[in-house]
Amino acid sequence: MIIRKLLTAGLGAGLLAFAAGGLLPTLAAADEQPAAAPPAPKVELVLDVSGSMNARDIDGQTRMSAAKQAFDDVLDSTPANVELGIRTLGADYPGNDRKTGCKDTRQLYPVGPLDRNEAKTAVATLAPTGWTPIGPALLRAADDIKGGSGTHRLVLITDGEDTCAPLNPCDVARDIAAKGIHLVIDTLGLVPDASTRNQLSCIAEATGGTYTAVQHRQQLTTKVKQLVDRSTDVQVAPVATQGGAQCTGAPQLKAGVYTDRETFSQNRWYRVDVPPGQELRASASISDDRAVNADYGILLRGVTLHGREIVRDDEGGTGRTDVVSAGIRYPKPSTDDDTPPETVCLQVGNSFSAPASVKVSPGLPVELSIDLVPSPDQPSDVAFYGLGSGWWLLGALAATGAVMGLLSGWIARWRLNVRRNA
């Protein structure tokens, strides 16, 4: 009987040990599971295949040949996690009918996991053909690339301006940016003339992209590779919001980065709750993504629910920069009781103006950054002329300077009197 009990106990202990031995590696494996992969970036290359791409002025070969070779190199080096597609404009219609020519854009290779050989084969079939419908191509490309939570990027390669007026590709880029889908458009111009540069720069600036003039094949290859690789950079995706006309009813924001739109001389309002022991740090930037008058400015201020101004900052520009920014800090001291958070109303205003010919819609791009951090030990010091505890040092330096100035004056006068008496 005792032996049977001992055997039973030993068997049970063995089973427990076996189970534990099997379970521990499982738990360890669970702990070692890799983090979820970041969302796949989406990139679409938009290539001009209009008739002018037959010009032979890039390293002794045609613009089209240089573009094809560059695309082959780019496709070979595209990171595995990038979903890449290709759209053409002007590749199919050789006629003179503007209405038909301005519809000539198609997706050559869909945005998705890249089959390099298939994409290269598709590019190899291209021949310079028709018009330059940049605006329509950008509209279609924005639909090609939408969806997903990764970065979204279009790379436009063209040798000239859009030929499908009155649809202005710069206005198209602004409308795309106003949708809040965070699509960046980079532009590469194969002909560095002023009118092409101005149009492509405007398209890029409207979406936070870049413009580059390209005159050599290797330069084109290198730049497109850089832009494709840049899509894999980890970025904070701003959240689209719409500020209110007044604090009452304004959107409630938490820590993060937000985008909005303001027309000329408009004010937008937002609300942020600041708990005791926390410091509100806010900054706002407005971009002049179109031609504006030279003198402009931005206002960012914090106001209580009762309308009392707490803190403000305003900055001006004179046309030397395409972005103007302002920032504020507002600390709340810690309390021992259950004091509720204070609601701070943030006002973002601008003093931009523009010639009558400039469209006011969509509004100017606004980026608002909100952060809540632990409040300093002496919150009142933070707002003291914006210097924090550094005002003591400034005061000491000012006093020292005054004393040294008086001493220098007395010494100079003494020397002058000595010389006169000598």
- Tell me the DSSP string of 136-151: HHHHHHHHHH--SSS-
Per-residue pLDDT at 372: 94
Q: Between these two residues, 406 and 206, which has the higher pLDDT value?
A: 206
Question: Mean pLDDT throughout 411-419?
Answer: 75
Is residue 419 helix, strand or coil?
helix
Question: Mean pLDDT throughout 121-140?
Answer: 95
Place of tokens 């590709």: 169
Per-residue pLDDT at 17: 41
- CA torsion through residues 53, 58, 61, 64, sign: negative
Question: Mean pLDDT throughout 313-323?
Answer: 80
Count the residues in the chain. Answer: 422
**Phi, psi of 105, deg, nearest 5:** -145, 140
Per-residue pLDDT at 391: 55
Q: Are 211 and 201 in contact (CB under 8 A)?
A: yes
Give residue-wise pLDDT tens across range 31-68.
Answer: 455 556 678 899 999 999 999 999 999 999 999 999 99
Cite the DSSP H helix spans in 216-320.
Answer: 217-230
Per-residue pLDDT at 381: 46
Question: Mean pLDDT throughout 214-227?
Answer: 94
Per-residue pLDDT at 378: 57
Q: Are 13 and 121 in contact (CB under 8 A)?
A: no
Per-residue pLDDT at 387: 46
What confidence tier does 11 reach under pLDDT thresholds 50, 70, 90? very low
Q: Are 133 and 76 in contact (CB under 8 A)?
A: no
Per-residue pLDDT at 81: 92
Question: Mean pLDDT throughout 168-191?
Answer: 90
Please give the structure tokens belonging to residue 366: 């606004």
Per-residue pLDDT at 124: 96
Q: Which has the minimum average pLDDT: 12-26, 61-75, 111-125, 234-248?
A: 12-26
Per-residue pLDDT at 23: 40
Give residue-wise pLDDT tens across range 298-315.
Answer: 999 999 999 999 999 999
Give residue-wise pLDDT tens across range 353-386.
Answer: 999 888 888 999 999 999 999 987 654 444 444 4
Q: Which has the minimum average pLDDT: 10-19, 30-39, 143-152, 157-166?
A: 10-19
Element (H, E) at 270: strand 267-274
Per-residue pLDDT at 9: 41
332 pLDDT higher than 60: yes
The rounded distance, in Å, linking the Cα atoms of 190 and 237 is 31
Nearest Cα to Cα of residue 108 among 138, 79, 134, 141: 141
What confidence tier does 25 reach under pLDDT thresholds 50, 70, 90? very low
Average pLDDT over the chain reads 85
Q: Are 314 and 370 in contact (CB under 8 A)?
A: no
CA distances from 238 to 151, 251, 260, 369, 380 (A): 11, 15, 10, 9, 31
Per-residue pLDDT at 321: 62
The rounded distance, in Å, linking the Cα atoms of 62 and 46 is 18
Per-residue pLDDT at 192: 80
Q: Are 211 and 169 in contact (CB under 8 A)?
A: no
Q: Does pTM surpass 0.75?
A: no
